[in-house]
Each structure stands twice: as structure tokens, then as C-alpha cells.
Amino acid sequence: MALRALRGATTVDADVPSQITERVQALLTTLLARNGVSHDDLVSIVLTATEDVVSLFPAQPARALGLGDVPLLCARELAVVNGTPRCIRVLVHCESALPRAALHHVYLEGAKGLRDDLPD
């Protein structure tokens, strides 16, 4: 097992708690499942949101998935000109037996095109 980092992102159509919850949970569930990461493999999770996402901390939906004992941190994404609006990004630190090249990063909804250089 080695310490690995998984990346992902999603977007919301509107800054409403129900959609943030739905999209963050879909992102985390997909990211962990695609990489075979269990709860005990998790070290920490960093979530960022663009400045137009203010109705809910993105960590709240993660806690609702049962990740409340995993260190979670929310931060503000950089406000870059022409950046993806209403975007929530995640960086998951975990223990994994997979080599770095075998990891699957997950980009959903309007974030699908952010990292087209990564393997599917």
C-alpha cells in the first residue's frame, strides 16, 4: 500500500444545497468505487468550490455519506477568468495498492472537459 491522491470535479446547475449534496455525493461515490477505495483507506479529503457556490459547505454531503471521521477541508477555488462556473473539486488522499498510472480520476457534469489528458 502507498499513499495516493485522487482528483475529481463536478459542477452544479444552481447554487442550491440539494444539488450540491447530490453532485458531491455522486462524485465521491464514483471516485472511491472506480478506484476500489474503502472507508478505512481514506487519509483526508480536500474540497474546493468556486466563488459562486456559497449555499453549502461541500464537506457536508461528504459527512452525510459517513465520512465524518475522515479529515475534511473546504477551500475557495481560485477565481480565474473563463474558469468553469459553479465547480466543486476534490482531492482525496488515500492508501492504495494501485500504481499511480492505474488510478481513475473522475470528472462529472460540466467538469468533464477539465482534464481530458487523464486516462478514463
Cβ within 8 Å of residue 7, ≥6 positions away: 89, 90, 91, 92, 105, 115, 118
CB-count exposure of residue 8 (10 Å: 0-12, 13-18, 19+):
buried
What are the structural domains, with CATH classification, of the chain? 2-111 (3.30.1330.40)
The mean pLDDT of 20-49, rounded to a whole number, is: 98
Position 21: which residue type? T
- How much is the CA Rg of the chain, to the nearest whole Å? 14
If pLDDT is split at 50, 70 and 90, which confidence band does 114 have?
confident
> Pairing between strand 72-76 and 42-49?
parallel
Task: Inform me whether the pLDDT recorded for 15 exceeds 80.
Answer: yes
pLDDT given at position 4: 98
pLDDT given at position 3: 98
The SS3 call for residue 52 is coil
Catalytic residue check, 7 = yes
89 CA to centre of own chain: 5
Query: Which cell numbers hold the place of 70?
Result: 475522515
pLDDT given at position 113: 78
pLDDT per residue as tens digits for the range 51-91: 999 999 999 999 999 999 999 999 999 999 999 999 999 99
Catalytic residue check, 74 = yes
Cβ contact 95:44 at 8 Å: no
Position 117: which residue type? D
pLDDT given at position 12: 98
Task: Inform me whether the pLDDT recorded for 119 exceeds 70.
Answer: no
pLDDT given at position 78: 93
What residues pair up with 91 in beta bridges, in sequence order?
A: 7, 46
> Pairing between strand 87-96 and 42-49?
antiparallel
Instruction: Give the global pTM.
Output: 0.94
* Catalytic site residue from 4, 23, 86, 89: 89
The mean pLDDT of 104-117, rounded to a whole number, is: 85
* Catalytic site residue from 4, 23, 87, 107: 107
pLDDT per residue as tens digits for the range 2-12: 999 999 999 99
